[in-house]
Amino acid sequence: MSEFFKKIAEKPFILASGILGVSYSSMKRIFEGGAGAVVTKSIGPILRKGYKNPSIIEILPGTFINSVGLANPGIDNFISEIKELKQNNITTIVSVFGDSIETYTQVAVKAQDAGADAIELNISCPHAEISIICQNKQLTYEYVVAVKKELKIPLIVKLSPNVTDIGEIALSAEKAGADAITAINTVNAMVIDIETQRPILSHGSGGLSGKAIHPIAVKKMFDLYKIVRIPIFGCGGVFTGEDAIEFFLAGASAVQIGSALYQDYNAITNIINSAKKYLEVHNYKSFSDIVGNAHKFETQEAPDF
Amino acid sequence: MSEFFKKIAEKPFILASGILGVSYSSMKRIFEGGAGAVVTKSIGPILRKGYKNPSIIEILPGTFINSVGLANPGIDNFISEIKELKQNNITTIVSVFGDSIETYTQVAVKAQDAGADAIELNISCPHAEISIICQNKQLTYEYVVAVKKELKIPLIVKLSPNVTDIGEIALSAEKAGADAITAINTVNAMVIDIETQRPILSHGSGGLSGKAIHPIAVKKMFDLYKIVRIPIFGCGGVFTGEDAIEFFLAGASAVQIGSALYQDYNAITNIINSAKKYLEVHNYKSFSDIVGNAHKFETQEAPDF
Amino acid sequence: MIKKPRMVQISEIVQESKDVKTFTFNIKSILSNYSIQYQDPTPGEFLMVWVPGIDEIPMSLSGFNNNKDWSITVKEVGECTEMLFNLEKSDLVGIRGPFGNGFQIPEFNFNNQLNIVVGGGIGMAPLIPLISELIKLKIKIIVIEGVKSKEEIIFKKYLKNYLIENETFYISTDDGSYGYKGFATDLFNSIIEKEIEKGNKINQVYSCGPEQMMYELFHICEKFNISFQGSLERMMRCGFGMCGLCVLDPSGIRVCREGPILDSKILRTCTDFGKYNRDFSGKKNTI
Amino acid sequence: MIKKPRMVQISEIVQESKDVKTFTFNIKSILSNYSIQYQDPTPGEFLMVWVPGIDEIPMSLSGFNNNKDWSITVKEVGECTEMLFNLEKSDLVGIRGPFGNGFQIPEFNFNNQLNIVVGGGIGMAPLIPLISELIKLKIKIIVIEGVKSKEEIIFKKYLKNYLIENETFYISTDDGSYGYKGFATDLFNSIIEKEIEKGNKINQVYSCGPEQMMYELFHICEKFNISFQGSLERMMRCGFGMCGLCVLDPSGIRVCREGPILDSKILRTCTDFGKYNRDFSGKKNTI
Ligand SMILES: Cc1cc2nc3c(=O)[nH]c(=O)nc-3n(C[C@H](O)[C@H](O)[C@H](O)COP(=O)(O)OP(=O)(O)OC[C@H]3O[C@@H](n4cnc5c(N)ncnc54)[C@H](O)[C@@H]3O)c2cc1C
Ligand SMILES: Cc1cc2nc3c(=O)[nH]c(=O)nc-3n(C[C@H](O)[C@H](O)[C@H](O)COP(=O)(O)OP(=O)(O)OC[C@H]3O[C@@H](n4cnc5c(N)ncnc54)[C@H](O)[C@@H]3O)c2cc1C
Ligand SMILES: Cc1cc2nc3c(=O)[nH]c(=O)nc-3n(C[C@H](O)[C@H](O)[C@H](O)COP(=O)(O)O)c2cc1C
Ligand SMILES: Cc1cc2nc3c(=O)[nH]c(=O)nc-3n(C[C@H](O)[C@H](O)[C@H](O)COP(=O)(O)O)c2cc1C
Ligand code: FES
Ligand code: FES
């Protein structure tokens, strides 16, 4: 197991991309709160302001919709942030996107050169052009192969739930050399203000995150665990230790936490402590002891007649 | 406009399939509460007990997961129920499924003969074999064409959100002769009990319904309205007048209500009254005046750089 | 209310008769682990009880106290109840609820009126917390427990703590192996006639048991113009009013939500009562 | 808290100066239509104000009362504020919030100590409810309003209702067209020295305004060992702590959540304060 995956195995809780991932200082807080690694905001080849506000809204308790639109300062402006992260000994996954195979690769390589411990390929943002990649197994294969070729560090591929068969996309990424999968990115959604009759988000639609998508993400994890052999990072609606444990039981090697972190900075520590408490109470030594345990049971495959 | 669609236009609120749709008496209550029509539980060619319990669970406030597994008494046992509905002058949509083009057609024809006002083709139950149909535009086309050929009454096709591109499936159904679309059926999901480590539903996974899926359903409606010309019935997480109005603004000709009806029987009346209040306050004469209004606004298509 | 099934440890198991056991568990751990708001149950409410890997079935609460110990009393009749019977103290069982409406209990005993409680076999289960409540409220009651045979008598010790046998607490056996020989309905009829003769007014009858028994009790009550509340059983999937499996014709009343306790006014309109119910597919079967 | 943006009707618009207007709206309709739980705002909290089709921007509450009339005071500086300026009475505007921490207000005025409030231009907005509160608590205050020029003075009439000009309420103009000629910081410095000479202890300085002004005030306070609370501005997307755009180095403090009011303890650690902020892409820019 590479150095990177060893670190993740020790502390299988990771900050998800796009939440508190603009500057090293918030990522440092999350890391110090107990995360094994942080994923930065998705970084592209050039500065991008993204969509106007409203772009992030809480629509149900603990459920959010966003269309940030991949706002980011561009990789060249972000290098200093990566260096600060590494100076603070923070295990850093840089989330990367581009507008072509070339720019994806360029950004990934620049991030690697700046000291990133791993790259997460964002091919799945539902409210941006790039979502087309993760909807197509061939495109996924091509992008992953190309980026992987230039990397010495591990490559994680982040997938979307907005597809008919996430399994075939994951297999494609695995075949192309991905070292791990993150599932899931946000779920396509829209909220309309009935007074003005217009969609609330400036972009119109956006991605659903938080509590509402947790059972959707757990199902994807359960399905993926049967199909791919590389580690899968579970992502979507982890707010409690219980939510995290569900992911491990469904097959996650690690859990990413995003939306929940809008709360106090100690939210991540509370989640981790509660998940650790579960191990203790149930006499497990580590999270790896429970990975995939939900697959041990027979479920009723055919209905009763 | 056919008699059926006239009735729906007058009272564009419909009981969704599978909720309180076993016996004529609960459907009568919903109809008397103000619905323009009711959709029965999905009925198949033979008696089917479905999956064992637990099969319906509330997992977040107003959000549910179910894997009923198309439990139904079979069309022959259900004919009496359809007749009771018609004797009570209830506009009745019989939801139909089968295990082949032939059985789909047989059940639909029997329902038509028993007096159904319309047929809703369930090709989209996420925890049953039939979900494969709605994931494939060719299969969708073939099933719809075949059933439509034998029907004198309108045919509604119910679609699933668990696909990469719901638009192409809807187009396929339209091309095949569907008279309307219902969107959406439930979203694939899973909940695991961390004490026993097993999925809670006896079938393992199930379909998410209720509040959590409303913004997902609104997005599908918004996308479908741009693509198909036949009426679209919005379904998913309508709990309030506001939720219903969102659907109309996104492009729904009518709204189906399911999960919310677990509440008191007056829930449907409250929703309808609150939606009507909106028309009144905003000086509209009918719901048709606001259908698709959310499309009038420009949203930010490209992000700022 | 516990909405998602939550596992709880069985703290006590009491064998009530050959095929009836009472299981007790304390729900404090569930309430605190999952920050669930607590409300005291009402007699007559039920739980959905999950035996993982087997089934999830409705069970009335046969007891609850201030310490949040809840209990169910189970008769072994099939697969899931058999698995329940295999469980031991400290084993886990999943529960959600309580669901349903519970009995309507008078707030005080005006005019010194008499209430009669009639249980048939395992139907005694939801009546136990009802009886406790009525006694607490100092409402005059007569309890009738009807069983097939002596071995099936349950809760006798408990009831005799509060009630005097053959004065306010009667047992009937079909075979005459204990107490009154014959059906509980016949015993009930004769008790009513006696009380009326004495000039006593009976203002409420509560019942749970086989539907045929309740059907007859209800009609006796109608004859004597006495209000009746019976706890009905129907197949249940959701338990909270969504699936429609437990619906009664032609009112649309959901046994799991507007019931399971139905009063005379509702029963009068009900064409299913005593006639037919539905299996798990939704198909009607005559009772 | 209003989490999803909700439209509210503007009930009153007051032109405070050439490019500053106060908009008032009553939020009762939002609270009742969407059954939102109400909590009184704290001075210093802000709203996200949505002008549909244009943008959604942070605006401090410049007033709120028991009748649930809330107000914001807006300076026209760009696209969205310009569109706000085009709105008329009865027009709709979207709001969510209030967000942020608000000023820490002493519970009573022990030892008769003196608090000083310093606002720079539109920075007066969140200070108005703070001043009202301090007056209500009978805390001795001095208010300094610094503007470029006479025409920019706002809230003068309001403040003169409660405070005596040139005794507890001072105005400075950069160009000397009214009151003290020079920067508010200089006026502040001289007032402090005077008060200290008089033997008065200043125990708290509150401020909002251009960051350079607050930066200097803070350093004056440090010199004199006075606690300082300043309301910071950073680009905001979410407004409630999720996106990370408004985060300060190296503490990770979120201006929208742990702020916008930051005290001396935090400001001492802060390497951004007075130095740099971030644009909407997240790129650092020197101030
Ligand atoms: C509101 C209510 C309260 C009840 N309270 C009690 C109680 O306190 N004590 C007690 O012993 N029994 C009670 N029952 C009956 C109990 O639910 C059944 O005995 C139990 O479900 C049998 O399950 P099984 O798997 O052992 O039997 P099975 O072999 O599965 O079935 C035997 C019979 O049990 C009934 N049954 C099975 N599944 C269900 C279901 N999901 N919903 C309703 N009935 C079902 C049917 O009548 C069935 O024919 C109650 C039923 C209801 C509806
Ligand atoms: C917590 C807080 C409270 C504020 N309170 C007030 C107030 O009470 N009254 C008032 O007039 N102004 C206040 N502001 C400043 C106000 O938000 C900006 O003036 C406004 O956003 C300008 O928008 P615009 O579209 O007119 O200008 P633009 O042309 O879009 O931008 C002009 C400047 O406004 C600022 N700005 C724009 N968008 C944002 C944003 N999303 N978040 C933060 N700053 C932004 C930037 O500095 C930008 O350079 C406050 C800002 C913050 C952070
Ligand atoms: C405000 C916001 C911004 C996000 N930005 C990104 C991003 O830049 N790149 C990415 O891969 N995912 C992004 N995501 C998706 C999250 O990383 C995560 O996949 C999703 O939110 C589900 O996890 P959660 O429910 O824990 O938030 C964003 C999510 C939110 C809420
Ligand atoms: C318990 C339950 C049973 C359902 N059964 C069916 C069914 O038999 N046929 C069908 O087409 N949809 C079925 N559905 C899906 C609903 O009709 C509806 O599409 C979905 O629940 C979303 O709407 P809602 O959020 O208003 O419930 C069922 C949903 C639930 C919750
Ligand atoms: S059991 Fe589902 S409605 Fe009663
Ligand atoms: S504005 Fe998003 S974290 Fe502060």
- Indicate the pairing of strand A118-122 with strand A155-159: parallel
- Indicate the pairing of strand B92-96 with strand B118-122: parallel
Give the count of beta carbons closer than 10 Å to the beta carbon of residue B280: 9
Mean pLDDT rounded to a whole number for chain D: 95
pLDDT-derived band at D111 (thresholds 50, 70, 90) equals: low
Instruction: Give, for all 305 residues of chain A, the pLDDT tens digit.
Output: 789 999 999 999 999 999 999 999 999 999 999 999 999 999 999 999 999 999 999 999 999 999 999 999 999 999 999 999 999 999 999 999 999 999 999 999 999 999 999 999 999 987 778 888 999 999 999 999 999 999 999 999 999 999 999 999 999 999 999 999 999 999 999 999 999 999 999 999 999 999 999 999 999 999 999 999 999 999 999 999 999 999 999 999 999 999 999 999 999 999 999 999 999 999 999 999 999 999 999 999 888 88
Mutation target to probe the C interface, by most C beta carbons within 10 A, among B15, B17, B23, B191 is B23
Mean pLDDT rounded to a whole number for chain C: 95
CA distance A174 to A195: 47
Of A39, A304, A282, A277, whose CA–CA distance to A180 is shortest? A39
Of A121, A65, A90, A62, whose CA–CA distance to A243 is shortest? A62
Q: How far is the CA of C71 from the centre of ligand 1 (A)?
A: 16
Burial track C266-275 (b if 16+ CB lie within 10 A, e otherwise) = bbeebebbbe
Residue owning tokens 């919005």: B234
Overall average pLDDT of the C208-225 stretch? 97
Q: How far is CA B263 from the centre of its chain?
A: 19
Q: Is the model's pLDDT at C177 over the cut of 70? A: yes
Q: What residue's CA is closest to ligand 2, atom 35?
A: D235
CB contact (8 A) between residue B73 and residue C281? yes
- Indicate the pairing of strand C2-17 with strand C20-26: antiparallel
Of B257, B267, B297, whose CA–CA distance to B19 is shortest? B257
CB contact (8 A) between residue A298 and residue C280? no
Q: Say what the pLDDT of residue C109 is.
A: 63
Which is the catalytic residue, given A125, A180, A244, A261?
A125
Query: Quick check: helix, strand or coil at residue D244?
Result: coil
Overall average pLDDT of the B210-221 stretch? 98
- Indicate the pairing of strand C92-99 with strand C114-120: unpaired
Quote the strand ranges of C121-168, DSSP E.
140-147
CA distance C273 to D55: 62
- Indicate the pairing of strand D169-173 with strand D140-147: parallel
Q: Say what the pLDDT of residue A132 is.
A: 87
CB contact (8 A) between residue B193 and residue C52? yes
Q: Say what the pLDDT of residue C110 is.
A: 66
Overall average pLDDT of the D40-45 stretch? 97
CA distance B279 to B60: 31
CA distance D246 to D257: 9
- For residue B60, the 8-state DSSP code is E
Q: Is the model's pLDDT at D91 over the cut of 80? A: yes
Q: How far is the CA of A64 from the centre of ligand 6 (A)?
A: 14
Query: Quick check: helix, strand or coil at residue D165?
Result: strand
Give the count of beta carbons closer than 10 Å to the beta carbon of residue A297: 14
CA distances to D138, D140, D157, D168 from D162, rounded to whole Å, are 11, 12, 9, 9
Q: What residue's CA is closest to ligand 3, atom 15?
A: A185
Q: Say what the pLDDT of residue D109 is.
A: 64
User: How much of chain D exceeds pLDDT 70, in percent?
Assistant: 99
Overall average pLDDT of the D223-247 stretch? 97
Q: Is the model's pLDDT at C108 over the cut of 70? A: no
* pLDDT, tens digit (0-9, with 9 covering 90-100), for B245-282: 999 999 999 999 999 999 999 999 999 999 999 999 99
Dig out the tokens for A163 from the structure.
């597809």
Chain D contacts of B304, Cβ < 8 Å? 280
Q: Which domains does chain A possess?
A: 3-296 (3.20.20.70)
Return the amino acid letter for A30: I
CB contact (8 A) between residue B196 and residue C7? yes
Contact B205, A222 (CB under 8 A): yes
Any bridge partners for residue B205, and if so which?
A: B190
CB contact (8 A) between residue C280 and residue A304? yes
Least Cα separation, residue D130 to chain A (angstroms): 25
Q: Say what the pLDDT of residue B305 is.
A: 84
User: Can you state the angle between helices A241-250 and A267-281, rounded to 10 degrees?
Assistant: 60
Burial track B129-160 (b if 16+ CB lie within 10 A, e otherwise) = ebbebbbbbebbbebbbbbbeebebbbbbbbb
**Residues recorded for chain B:** 305
Contact D59, D85 (CB under 8 A): no
CA distance D116 to D95: 31
Any bridge partners for residue C58, and if so which?
A: C48
Q: How many CA atoms lie within 13 A of B38 on its CB side?
A: 29
Q: Is the model's pLDDT at C97 over the cut of 80? A: yes
pTM value? 0.97
Any bridge partners for residue C24, and if so which?
A: C12, C71
Pocket around ligand 4: residues whose beta carbon is below 6 Å from it?
Answer: B 16-19, 41-42, 56, 64, 66, 68, 70, 95, 122, 125, 158, 185-186, 209-210, 213, 235-238, 257-260; C 242-243
pLDDT-derived band at C111 (thresholds 50, 70, 90) equals: low
CA distance A293 to C34: 22
Give the count of beta carbons closer than 10 Å to the beta carbon of residue A113: 10
Q: Say what the pLDDT of residue A127 is.
A: 74
Say yes or no: A298 contacts chain C, CB-CB below 8 A. Answer: yes
Angle (CA) D208 D211 D217, round 5°: 70
pLDDT-derived band at C106 (thresholds 50, 70, 90) equals: confident
Overall average pLDDT of the C204-233 stretch? 97
Quote the strand ranges of C121-200, DSSP E.
140-147, 169-173, 180-181
CA distance D287 to D277: 7
Contact D235, A68 (CB under 8 A): no
Of C68, C188, C39, whose CA–CA distance to C117 is shortest? C188
Any bridge partners for residue D229, and if so which?
A: D206, D263
Which numbered ligand comes closest to the C-alpha of C243? 5
Q: How far is the CA of A42 from the centre of ligand 3 (A)?
A: 9
Q: Say what the pLDDT of residue C107 is.
A: 74
Q: Say what the pLDDT of residue D112 is.
A: 73
Dig out the tokens for B26 from the structure.
């609960």
CA distance B96 to B18: 11
CA distance D200 to D192: 9
Q: How far is the CA of D81 from the centre of ligand 2 (A)?
A: 8
Contact A286, A263 (CB under 8 A): no
Q: Say what the pLDDT of residue A130 is.
A: 82
- Indicate the pairing of strand A187-190 with strand C180-181: unpaired
Say yes or no: D91 contacts chain A, CB-CB below 8 A. Answer: no
* pLDDT, tens digit (0-9, with 9 covering 90-100), for C59-88: 999 999 999 999 999 999 999 999 999 999
Which is the catalytic residue, given B90, B107, B111, B125?
B125
Query: Quick check: helix, strand or coil at residue C158?
Result: helix
Burial class (CB in 10 A: 0-12, 13-18, 19+), D268: exposed
Dig out the tokens for B296 from the structure.
């009038």
Q: Which domains does chain D possess?
A: 2-99 (2.40.30.10), 110-286 (3.40.50.80)
Q: Say what the pLDDT of residue A1 is.
A: 72
CA distance D170 to D165: 6
Query: Quick check: helix, strand or coil at residue C65?
Result: coil
Residue owning tokens 């509440």: B263
Q: Say what the pLDDT of residue D108 is.
A: 67
CA distance D67 to C276: 59
Give the count of beta carbons closer than 10 Å to the beta carbon of residue D77: 11
Q: What are phi and psi of D132, to 5 degrees?
A: -55, -45
Neighboring chains of B (3 or more beta-carbon pairs < 8 A) = A, C, D
Return the amino acid letter for A28: K
CB contact (8 A) between residue C280 and residue B47? no
Q: Is the model's pLDDT at C125 over the cut of 70? A: yes
Q: What are phi and psi of B221, to 5 degrees?
A: -60, -45
A125 is catalytic: yes
Residues 6+ apart with CB under 8 A from D226: D192, D202, D203, D204, D205
Contact B14, B255 (CB under 8 A): yes
**Which ipTM did the prediction report?**
0.97
Query: Quick check: helix, strand or coil at residue C185?
Result: helix
Residues 6+ apart with CB under 8 A from B87: none
* pLDDT, tens digit (0-9, with 9 covering 90-100), for D162-200: 999 888 999 999 999 999 999 999 999 999 999 999 988
